[in-house]
């Protein structure tokens, strides 16, 4: 892994912002297409974009689909994430495009002109509320994970259930490594022995801090896992690949 990171650092500075633009654009367009036009419920699985499944009210126009009531939570969580903010400010706005010498000179807006985050970016200040909302969605995803191990009502393990489980583990790890969570759990305390449950909070804080060190990796791994899980289930549904049974 470290040799991959070292090789990545040797690439020209513009490779990272261009890669971020491509990956986030593909993810954004794919998510929009899934929740707008495509079905999300299969024989045994749900699309991860459709959990929890909710009914579409009759009075609601058809162009507003039921998963749109859900997807704003995980998407808002990612869009306001401290790491993604750094990534897309650099990639989309070149603000600055990279740290390397030379790249900063290409920054279109100079640092002395910075006036804080305005307009839609003001939402970045409510990241912790998107965190709370995302934990609600995660709880449903874990419930759906259990269901994937009971196809037809009895216990069984398929490749699809393992993929769903891996996806939810990565999403949970991404959420648990959040900077805001680290602050809420213990980063906002100067003295653990002065607060109730201080020892437990200190241990939780240390655990979140360990995960937090790799937050960028969890951000990308969990993003790719959502995409791949959805694509895998669509291939099963289309009959392109079988969902192999491991147990049951």
Please choose, from the candidates 11, 54, 47, the residue with its C-alpha nearest in 3D space to the C-alpha of residue 31.
Answer: 47
Footprint (CB under 6 A) of ligand FES, residues 105-144: 127
E runs forming strands in 44-159: 157-158
Which CB, 158 or 182, lies closer to ligand FES?
182
Comparison of 24 and 236: residue with beta carbon closer to ligand FES = 24
Site string for ligand FES, 45-64 (x = CB under 6 A): --------------------
Distance of closest approach, residue 175 Cβ to ligand FES, in angstroms: 7
Nearer to ligand FES, 87 or 163 (CB): 87
Among 82, 121, 143, 150, binds ligand FES (CB under 6 A): 82
- Closer CB to ligand FES, 46 or 70, in the complex: 70
81 near ligand FES, rule: CB under 6 A: yes
Task: Give which of 167, 173, 176 is closest to 218, Cα–Cα.
Answer: 173
Cβ-proximal residues to 236 (8 Å cutoff; 6+ apart), any chain = 42, 45, 160, 242, 243
CB of 179 to ligand FES, least distance (A): 4
Q: Where are the beta strands (DSSP E) in 119-227?
A: 157-158
Two structure tokens written together for 33: 């297409």
Compute CA distances 11 → 7, 16, 105, 211, whole Å: 7, 8, 19, 27
Residue with smaller CB distance to ligand FES, 36 or 214 = 214
Least distance in angstroms from the C-beta of 131 to ligand FES: 6
148 is a contact residue toward ligand FES (CB under 6 A) = no
d(CA 190, CA 205): 12
Q: Which stretch binds ligand FES (CB under 6 A): 1-9, 52-60, 78-86, 161-169?
A: 78-86
Separation of alpha carbons 109 and 212, rounded Å: 30
List binders of ligand FES among 210-229 (CB under 6 A): 215
Binding mask 153-192 for ligand FES (x = CB under 6 A): -------------------------xxx------------
Q: CA-CA distance, 77 to 233, in Å (whole number)?
A: 24
Shortest Å distance, C-beta 185 to ligand FES: 12
Angle of CA points 35, 36, 37, to nearest 5°: 105
Nearer to ligand FES, 24 or 178 (CB): 178
Nearer to ligand FES, 179 or 189 (CB): 179
Q: With CA atoms as reference, report the closest residue to 71 among 137, 147, 142.
A: 137
**Which secondary structure element, helix H or strand E, spans residue 169, and what is its range?**
helix 159-176
Can you give the binding site for ligand FES, defined by CB under 6 A?
Answer: 81-83, 127, 178-180, 215
């Amino acid at each position: 892994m470290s040799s991959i990171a070292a090789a990545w650092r040797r690439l020209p500075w513009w490779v990272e912002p261009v890669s971020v633009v491509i990956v986030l654009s593909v993810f954004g367009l794919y998510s929009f297409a899934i929740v707008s036009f495509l079905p999300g419920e299969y024989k045994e699985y749900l699309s991860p974009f459709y959990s929890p499944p909710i009914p579409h009210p009759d009075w609601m126009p058809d162009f507003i689909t039921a998963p749109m009531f859900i997807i704003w939570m995980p998407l808002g969580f990612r869009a306001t994430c401290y790491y993604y903010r750094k990534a897309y400010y650099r990639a989309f706005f070149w603000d600055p495009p990279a740290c390397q010498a030379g790249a900063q000179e290409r920054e279109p807006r100079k640092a002395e002109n910075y006036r804080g985050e305005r307009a839609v970016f003001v939402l970045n200040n409510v990241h912790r509320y998107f965190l709370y909302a995302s934990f609600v969605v995660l709880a449903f995803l874990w419930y759906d994970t259990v269901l994937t191990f009971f196809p037809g009502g009895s216990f069984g393990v398929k490749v699809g259930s393992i993929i769903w489980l891996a996806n939810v583990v990565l999403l949970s790890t991404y959420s648990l490594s959040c900077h805001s969570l680290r602050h809420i759990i213990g980063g906002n305390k100067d003295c653990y022995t002065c607060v109730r449950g201080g020892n437990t909070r200190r241990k939780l804080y240390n655990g979140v801090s360990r995960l937090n060190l790799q937050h960028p990796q969890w951000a990308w791994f969990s993003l790719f896992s959502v995409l791949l899980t959805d694509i895998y289930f669509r291939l099963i549904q289309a009959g392109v690949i079988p969902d192999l049974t491991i147990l049951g």
